[in-house]
A and B are shown apart, each in its own frame.
Chain A
Amino acid sequence: MSMLSVERLEMEYQSDRGPVRAVRGVSFAVERGNFYTLLGPSGCGKTSTLRCIAGLETPTAGKITIGEEVVYDRQTRVVVPTHRRAVGMVFQSYAIWPHLTVFDNVGFPLVHGKNRVPRARVRPMVERALDLVQLGHLADRPAPALSGGQQQRVALARAIVYEPDLLLLDEPLSNLDAKLREEMRQELKDLVARLNITTLYVTHDQTEALAMSNLVAVMYEGEIVQEGSPQDVYLRPASPFTANFVGKTNLLNGAVAGGGVETAHGLITIPLPDWTKEAASVVLAFRPEAVALEASDGPIAANTIRGSVSGSSFVGETLEYVVTASEDAFKVKGDPFAPFRIGDEVDLHLPSDRVLIMPGDEATRAELAAAAQLAAAE
Chain B
Amino acid sequence: MAIGTPTLQRVWTSLPRRFDQRTLIAWAAMLTVAFLVVIPLVVMIAATFRPAGVFPLDAGEFTLSNYTEFASGQTGFWVVFRNTVVYAGGTMALAVPMAFGMAFLTERTDVPFRSMLYTLMFVPFVTPVFATALGWVLLAGPRAGAVNEYIRLIIGSDSRDGPFNVYTMQGMIFVTALGIVPSMWLLLVSVLRNMDPTLEEAASTSGVNRWGVMRRVTAPLMLPGILAVVIYFTIAIMESFEIPLALGITAGVQVLATKIWLIITAVDEGRFSYGSAAVFGLVGVVIGVVGISLYLWLVRRSSRYTVITGKGYRPRKIRLGAWKYVALGLVGLYLFVKVLMPFSMILYASFLRFYVPPLPENLGSLPWTLENYRNLWDYRFFGRMLVNTAIVVVAAATSTMLLVTVVSWAAVRLKTPVAQTANVLTFMPLAIPGVIMTLAFFLLFIGTPLYGTLALIVIAFVARYLSYTTRLMYSAQLQIHKELEEASLVSGVAPAGTLFYINLRLLIPAFLNGWLWIITHAAKDFTTPLLLATSGTVLVANVIFSRFEGGRFTESAAVMVVLVVLLIAVVWAGRKWIGGEVKG
Q: What is the interface of chain A, defined by CB distance below 8 A to chain B?
A: 8, 10, 12, 19, 25, 54-56, 58, 60-61, 74, 77, 79, 81-85, 87-89, 91-95, 97-99, 108-109, 112-115, 155, 158-159, 162, 168
Out of A58, A81, A108, name the residue touching B491 (CB < 8 Å).
A108
Q: Which of B483, B497, B502 has the most CB of A within 10 A?
A: B483
Chain A, residue nearest B581 (CB): A99
Q: How far is the CA of A109 from the CA of B498 in the complex (A)?
A: 11
Task: Judge whether A82 and B501 touch: CB under 8 Å.
Answer: no
B1-25 contact mask (Cβ, 8 Å, vs A): 1 or 0: 1010010010011000101110000
Task: Judge whether B488 and A108 touch: CB under 8 Å.
Answer: yes
Residues A91 and B487 in contact in the complex (CB < 8 Å), given A61-B3, A81-B19, A98-B506: yes
The smallest C-beta distance from A87 to any residue of chain B, in angstroms, reads: 6
Q: How far is the CA of A150 from the CA of B157 in the complex (A)?
A: 82
Task: Judge whether B6 and A162 touch: CB under 8 Å.
Answer: no
Task: Judge whether A97 and B490 touch: CB under 8 Å.
Answer: no
Task: Judge whether A97 and B486 touch: CB under 8 Å.
Answer: no
Which A residues touch B498, using CB under 8 A? 83
Q: Which of B17, B491, B493 has the most CB of A within 10 A?
A: B491
Residues A89 and B493 in contact in the complex (CB < 8 Å), given A10-B3, A61-B3, A79-B17: no
Q: How far is the CA of A99 from the CA of B501 in the complex (A)?
A: 10
Task: Judge whether A97 and B506 touch: CB under 8 Å.
Answer: yes
Task: Judge whether B9 and A113 touch: CB under 8 Å.
Answer: no
Task: Judge whether B490 and A89 touch: CB under 8 Å.
Answer: yes
Q: What is the interface of chain B, defined by CB distance below 8 A to chain A?
A: 1, 3, 6, 9, 12-13, 17, 19-21, 481, 483-484, 486-495, 497-498, 501-502, 505-506, 508
Chain A, residue nearest B19 (CB): A81
Can you list 26 contacts pairing A with B, beta carbon distance less than 8 Å?
A10-B3, A19-B6, A55-B489, A56-B486, A58-B13, A61-B3, A81-B19, A81-B20, A81-B489, A81-B495, A82-B490, A83-B491, A83-B492, A84-B492, A87-B490, A89-B490, A91-B487, A95-B483, A95-B486, A97-B502, A99-B506, A108-B488, A109-B492, A113-B493, A114-B493, A162-B492
Chain A, residue nearest B489 (CB): A82
Q: How far is the CA of A152 from the CA of B3 in the complex (A)?
A: 40
Q: How far is the CA of A187 from the CA of B283 in the complex (A)?
A: 70
Which A residues touch B488, using CB under 8 A? 97, 108, 112
Task: Judge whether B493 and A61 touch: CB under 8 Å.
Answer: no
Task: Judge whether A97 and B487 touch: CB under 8 Å.
Answer: yes
The smallest C-beta distance from A340 to any residue of chain B, in angstroms, reads: 47
Which A residues touch B483, using CB under 8 A? 91-95
Which B residues touch A159, using CB under 8 A? 490
Q: Which of B3, B487, B508 has the most CB of A within 10 A?
A: B487
Extra contacts, 9 of them, besides A84-B492, A95-B487, A168-B490 (Cβ < 8 A), are: A81-B20, A82-B490, A83-B490, A91-B486, A93-B483, A95-B484, A99-B506, A114-B492, A115-B492
Which B residues touch A87, using CB under 8 A? 490
Q: Which of A56, A81, A162 has the most CB of B within 10 A?
A: A81
Task: Judge whether A82 and B3 touch: CB under 8 Å.
Answer: no
Which A residues touch B19, using CB under 8 A? 81
Task: Judge whether B491 and A109 touch: CB under 8 Å.
Answer: yes
Chain A, residue nearest B481 (CB): A93
Q: Which of A58, A84, A113, A159 has the most CB of B within 10 A?
A: A113
Task: Judge whether B495 and A83 touch: CB under 8 Å.
Answer: yes
The smallest C-beta distance from B153 to any residue of chain A, in angstroms, reads: 63
Task: Judge whether A112 and B6 touch: CB under 8 Å.
Answer: no
The smallest C-beta distance from A170 to any residue of chain B, in angstroms, reads: 9
Task: Judge whether B490 and A54 touch: CB under 8 Å.
Answer: yes
Top 6 closest pairs, chain A to chain B, by CB: A113-B492, A109-B491, A114-B492, A95-B487, A95-B483, A82-B489
The smallest C-beta distance from B489 to any residue of chain A, in angstroms, reads: 4
When A and B form their complex, what is the total count of cross-chain residue pairs whose Cβ atoms lie within 8 Å? 96
Task: Judge whether A82 and B486 touch: CB under 8 Å.
Answer: yes
Q: How far is the CA of A249 from the CA of B493 in the complex (A)?
A: 47
Chain A, residue nearest B21 (CB): A81
Q: How far is the CA of A255 from the CA of B108 in the complex (A)?
A: 75
Task: Judge whether A12 and B481 touch: CB under 8 Å.
Answer: no
Q: How far is the CA of A8 from the CA of B486 in the complex (A)?
A: 25
The smallest C-beta distance from B430 to any residue of chain A, in angstroms, reads: 27
Q: Which of B6, B9, B19, B489 has the most CB of A within 10 A?
A: B489
Which B residues touch A81, using CB under 8 A? 19-21, 489, 494-495
Chain A, residue nearest B487 (CB): A95
Q: How far is the CA of A115 from the CA of B497 in the complex (A)?
A: 14
Which A residues touch B505, using CB under 8 A? 99
Out of A60, A83, A98, name the residue touching B3 (CB < 8 Å).
A60
Q: Which of B13, B20, B490 has the most CB of A within 10 A?
A: B490
Q: Which of A8, A58, A60, A95 has the most CB of B within 10 A?
A: A95
The smallest C-beta distance from B214 to any residue of chain A, in angstroms, reads: 40
The smallest C-beta distance from B387 to any residue of chain A, in angstroms, reads: 34
Task: Judge whether B487 and A61 touch: CB under 8 Å.
Answer: no
The smallest C-beta distance from B476 to any residue of chain A, in angstroms, reads: 14
Task: Judge whether A109 and B481 touch: CB under 8 Å.
Answer: no
Q: How far is the CA of A114 from the CA of B493 in the complex (A)?
A: 6
Chain B, residue nearest A159 (CB): B490
Q: How far is the CA of A55 from the CA of B1 in the complex (A)?
A: 23
Which A residues touch B20, using CB under 8 A? 81
Q: How far is the CA of A66 from the CA of B347 in the complex (A)?
A: 73
Residues A83 and B494 in contact in the complex (CB < 8 Å), given A56-B489, A61-B9: yes
Which A residues touch B484, using CB under 8 A? 95, 97
Which B residues touch A25, using CB under 8 A? 1
Residues A112 and B501 in contact in the complex (CB < 8 Å), given A19-B6, A61-B9, A93-B481: yes
Out of A60, A83, A97, A109, name the residue touching B9 (CB < 8 Å).
A60
The smallest C-beta distance from A84 to any residue of chain B, in angstroms, reads: 7
Q: How far is the CA of A59 from the CA of B486 in the complex (A)?
A: 17
Q: How far is the CA of A56 from the CA of B17 in the complex (A)?
A: 15
Which A residues touch B13, using CB under 8 A? 58, 60
The smallest C-beta distance from A257 to any residue of chain B, in angstroms, reads: 42
Out of B12, B491, B497, B508, name the residue touching A158 (CB < 8 Å).
B491
Q: How far is the CA of A107 from the CA of B502 in the complex (A)?
A: 14
Task: Judge whether A88 and B490 touch: CB under 8 Å.
Answer: yes
Task: Judge whether B493 and A112 touch: CB under 8 Å.
Answer: yes
Which B residues touch A8, using CB under 8 A? 1
Q: How far is the CA of A58 from the CA of B22 in the complex (A)?
A: 13
Task: Judge whether B493 and A83 touch: CB under 8 Å.
Answer: yes
Q: How far is the CA of A61 from the CA of B489 in the complex (A)?
A: 22
The smallest C-beta distance from A117 to any residue of chain B, in angstroms, reads: 11
Q: How far is the CA of A261 from the CA of B6 in the complex (A)?
A: 46
The smallest C-beta distance from B497 to any residue of chain A, in angstroms, reads: 6
Out of B17, B493, B502, name the residue touching A109 (CB < 8 Å).
B493
Which A residues touch B492, using CB under 8 A? 83-84, 109, 112-115, 162
Task: Judge whether A83 and B1 touch: CB under 8 Å.
Answer: no
